[in-house]
Structure 1
């Protein structure tokens, strides 16, 4: 099994990607979502008319909680168990998401990159899939609006977002 990860600008875009995965019969228990821009969750992304719109609550185990460095957060799927296994002292650091991502199969350097990007806003979707399907899942997430995480965490991006 392999875990594919993607970053989205909004929870609504992540919801669209999750809906697309579910329509293609990926198992909801293999899909994780973490989002902190809850205001956009009920908004429909511009491309939502292309597929049926469902709620992130279609994933078993949707939970909402507060994180000091991220504010209110929703999470669903295997990431919930990983977040529960992460100690409270780890949740109180800026890189709080990385240990949970590592626990669900994301290599540590990649996990830290996505944690940093998540803290700048948006949503993370992970999908545990067979190795043979990983490229298809990555292409689907990209087609659903996944953003380039490397672009998001570049130092010049930080200057633009604060200026």
Structure 2
């Protein structure tokens, strides 16, 4: 089953991990401003982005925090916002709080983004998984339908 939301989210997580791996990790803002000249981002108290930073295809590849990397690699225009929410739910705290914690390393961020990519299931995929799990309980010829009908 093809699910565009699931695919876009997993791609966003994977590409963000690759971005940080290639260009570096940053704490304190979306991107390292003195490196790139980008304006600092606006973040609300609850970690939800009020607006993405200047992310047009500017060719700049500054070191980024987890949220900055997710926004930088998002070609859909929506997946990064959904990915930040999903990542926050996974972590049990705000993404920027986790990213900026002194104990959180670049390796931690990269690994968590990769795990999120591997484990993310969209709402459509979750419903499909539940339907398939129930369908597997129904006897079929391959699983002994005749046996079930004969009481075996």
Q: If the length of structure 1 is used for normalisation, what is the TM-score?
A: 0.26
The structure showing larger relative contact order (alpha-carbon pairs under 8 Å, at least 6 residues apart) is: 1
| Greater share of residues in strand | 1
* Larger of the two Rg values belongs to structure: 2
Q: If the length of structure 2 is used for normalisation, what is the TM-score?
A: 0.28
